[in-house]
Chain A
Amino acid sequence: MKRRNYLLEFEKLLNRAPVSEKEDALRYYNELFDEEGIDIEDEVPEKYPSPRQAAFEILRDIEVVNISENNSEPRKKGRINVNTFAAVILSILALPIALPLSIALAAVAVALLIALFAIFAALVIAAFAAVISGITIITSNFPPTTNVLSLSLGLILAGTGGLILLINGAKSVVTGINNKLIELSERKQSNFQSVKYQGE
């Protein structure tokens, strides 16, 4: 890279810095090149780091000095304190509403679960009742067609109920295994990724 281009790029990269800093740095490098006898149109020797590297070293230094001089950290801390304070106040205010609301939601969920269980229980009980009544009716005086019909109806109901239970049970087992497998593969993947990052 020619000295002209080297310094142009260097100057562009230092635009983030204060003007006086930029001018001082440019002055220093111009003097250095003059001492080495590198003309505007001459190539900058390989031993010089890239303009990016040179600019970075200066910018990093300016930043470090600014932080220690301006004490910008305590100001930031104060802002965080105000935010956490506001969050605490808001959560205290929300507590009288949030607590009963969550209790009510939990109660509704429990009620729904009980209702679901009751429906299933009723179906099962009805099926068994039909089977039992069918058997008892066979031994009584009613016409045989009614007996057989009642018994078969009961059996059909019980069988359907059992089938539904079986299908549901099988489903939950399959989805359970599926979830476990997904979990396992994800864990393996994340392990693999962390190893890769360490490698880099």
Chain B
Amino acid sequence: MEGDNMPFPISATLLDFCVLSIVNRHDEYGYSITQKIQSAIVISESTLYPVLRRLQSASMLSTYDRPYQGRNRRYYRITEKGREQLKLYKQDWIEHKETVDMIVGE
């Protein structure tokens, strides 16, 4: 199961937030995004595709193919709409973190 090493559940929103943050730095291909998320959160290999698909159909990500070693890599790029959503997520995240910190304390 997901989150074996994480006591807190990973929501779809949090995954959207992570993917948008990663792609916001620079364009990435699918495998690289999976690797980056997996370095922090335990997710299954099949979890990321639906997330990318969802963000694409919401026009928050666009794609383009670039040749690599005789095949194509599909790169994901953040759109203007994605950037706006990322801003909202960041605000929400800070609020959420502060609220939890307030309850949990130092």
Q: Which residues of A contact B29 (CB under 8 A)?
A: 31, 35
* Contact yes or no, B45 A27, CB < 8 A: no
Complex: chain B residue closest to A59, CB-CB: B50
Stretch at the interface among A49-57, A107-115, A133-141, A156-164: A49-57
* Contact yes or no, A61 B74, CB < 8 A: no
Q: Is A28 an interface position by the 8 A CB rule?
A: yes
**Distance of A67 from chain B, by nearest CB (Å):** 13
A10 to B54, CA, bound (A): 19
Q: Which residues of B contact A87 (CB under 8 A)?
A: none
Interface residues of B in 49-98 (CB under 8 A from A): 49-50, 52-54, 57, 71-74
A31 to B69, CA, bound (A): 12
A65 to B56, CA, bound (A): 12
A34 to B45, CA, bound (A): 14
**Distance of A105 from chain B, by nearest CB (Å):** 59
* Contact yes or no, A54 B31, CB < 8 A: no
Q: Is A73 an interface position by the 8 A CB rule?
A: no
Complex: chain A residue closest to B74, CB-CB: A31
Q: Which residues of B contact A31 (CB under 8 A)?
A: 29-31, 71-74
Q: Which residues of B contact A35 (CB under 8 A)?
A: 29, 31
* Contact yes or no, B46 A61, CB < 8 A: no
Q: Is A7 an interface position by the 8 A CB rule?
A: no
Additional 15 contacts, C-beta under 8 A, given A28-B74, A31-B30, A48-B46: A25-B49, A31-B31, A31-B73, A31-B74, A32-B30, A32-B31, A32-B45, A36-B31, A49-B45, A49-B46, A54-B49, A58-B50, A58-B53, A61-B53, A61-B54
Chain B residues at the A interface, C-beta cutoff of 8 Å:
29-31, 34, 44-47, 49-50, 52-54, 57, 71-74
Q: Could you pull out 24 A-B pairs where Cβ atoms are within 8 angstroms?
A: A21-B53, A25-B49, A25-B53, A27-B74, A28-B49, A28-B74, A29-B49, A31-B71, A31-B72, A31-B73, A32-B31, A32-B34, A32-B45, A35-B31, A36-B31, A48-B45, A49-B45, A53-B44, A54-B49, A57-B49, A58-B49, A58-B53, A61-B54, A65-B54
Chain A residues at the B interface, C-beta cutoff of 8 Å:
21, 24-25, 27-29, 31-32, 34-36, 47-49, 53-54, 57-58, 60-61, 65
